[in-house]
Chains A and B, each alone.
Chain A
Amino acid sequence: DSGVTQTPKHLITATGQRVTLRCSPRSGDLSVYWYQQSLDQGLQFLIQYYNGEERAKGNILERFSAQQFPDLHSELNLSSLELGDSALYFCASSFGLPPYNEQFFGPGTRLTVL
């Protein structure tokens, strides 16, 4: 158990819908990262927050948005969902910032868009 929690574990929805994925970092960790893992694209970095502020952005679509709240939990919002958004979404947390910090990954949310 990494100490990072993600809810829900599974999510099935239809195209065009909007969903929210939630992540609680390890106690004491200030950074939260979101990743998307699909069979054809591998693990892709989406976005990072540090102590409530956006710190780095990766290949995140405009239909996706995220935020980190004062209690340091984070939410990833996915809207106008398409079939291709079906994937595993991971949240990771770390105490500090890259490039030398250790990331701890949550168990992931499996999103299926029908």
Chain B
Amino acid sequence: TQLLEQSPQFLSIQEGENLTVYCNSSSVFSSLQWYRQEPGEGPVLLVTVVTGGEVKKLKRLTFQFGDARKDSSLHITAAQPGDTGLYLCAGAAGSGTYKYIFGTGTRLKVLA
């Protein structure tokens, strides 16, 4: 069974701090996506990374795909209360027919 472990599970920080969330697996993924989910809503896609070593930036968020395409990280600079939510990584696993395997999630709370 392919698993995506995220760490930390919970994170509570002050506004203005930096943080990094990790998404790790022993499996190789064809692509990896990061989502943010708010209570009572569906996940919203933030980014898709495809190439090993790829780095993508979305304003204060920086996403990196590991060289071996088994892991990824999300770094947030100068966190704001609006960044509060559940962050999920999801890897596309398979060959020909793919399934999305979601990570265990990181619940982030940014305090004003």
B-binding residues in A (CB < 8 A): 2, 4, 33, 35, 42-45, 48, 55-56, 58, 90, 92, 97-100, 102-108
Contact = CB atoms under 8 A, between A and B. Distances in A.
Nearest to B29: A99
Nearest to A108: B42
Interface of B: 29-31, 33, 40-45, 48, 50, 88, 90, 92, 94, 97-105
In the complex, which of the residues B42, B43, B50, B104 has the most CB atoms of chain A within 10 Å of its own CB atom?
B42
Contacts, number: 65
Nearest to A57: B99
B45 A45 contact: no
Contacts of B104: 42
A23 to B, nearest CB: 11
B98 A97 contact: yes
Nearest to A9: B40
Contacts of B105: 42-43
A102 B45 contact: yes
A92 B43 CA distance: 9
A98 B88 contact: no
- Sort A-B residue pairs by CB-CB distance and give the 3 closest, nearest first: A105-B42, A99-B92, A98-B98
A68 B42 CA distance: 20
A58 B33 CA distance: 18
B42 A33 contact: no
B41 A43 contact: no
Contacts of B42: 2, 4, 90, 92, 105-108
B98 A99 contact: yes
A98 B102 contact: no
A43 B88 contact: yes
A2 B41 CA distance: 10
